Amino acid sequence: MNDPFIVALDFSSSEEVRTFLQPFSHTSLFVKVGMELYYQEGPSILYMLKEKNHRIFLDLKLHDIPNTVKQAMKGLARLGVDLVNVHAAGGTVMMEAALEGLEAGTPSGARRPHCVAVTQLTSTSEQMLCDELWIGRPMEETVLHYASLSKQSGLDGVVCSAKEVPLIRKHCGEAFLTVTPGIRFADDEKNDQVRVVTPYEAKKLGASYIVIGRSITRAANPSAAYERLQREWNGEETV
């Protein structure tokens, strides 16, 4: 999984996905299939994407009792995706069960999907963390604690804001994956995201992967926007 760009396919149907992917017919992308798309189309959308040689982050954020998560992951492991996730708030036993399910469900000779844990959503602000979730610790401290639990549970990394990557790198090591949503071009609207950074900022902060959606998928020219993403990541263009 060397490509650092994950394009969020935040669509409601396979037809919308096919239309979006037309300009990328000769490009192998790393794409994210979230709840909106997966719950509408089911596994068939994953099969279609794999046929076109795209890698897949199946973003379902599992969070349930350990046995339920284990059995769900056992099924997801058979779908040929490259990356899956859980909520770290489910605790160490649940995260360990997720890995057990993935290992049990991965076909013989295949590599099990990487598994990462969501620390705090990038739509969560410090005030929301305190006032609504009743977590009385600062955001960075909370995220680091969840990241440490994820590593302790054997997971491959976490989903976090790029702003938290340096702290996680320091305590969890360079090999621990950091998948960072909340990526926007500098001249884009933030929409429902709170803790956002640009692609170039995310690279400087040390993110393993950046997840970018509307900046690409809602662009008038998605392929040109993807090329801009590559240039910004490489420091060839900043706004």
Which residues are designated catalytic? Answer: 61
Give 3-state DSSP helix, strand, coil % of the chain, rounded to 5: 45, 15, 35
Instruction: Give bridge partners of residue 5 from the DSSP assignment.
Output: 210
The span from the first CA to the last CA of the chain, in angstroms, equals: 28
Q: How many CB atoms are located within 10 Å of the residue 234 CB?
A: 11
| Euclidean distance between CA atoms 93 and 34, whole angstroms | 24
Backbone phi, then psi, for 129, in 5-degree steps?
-55, -40
**Is 48 in a helix, a strand, or coil?**
helix
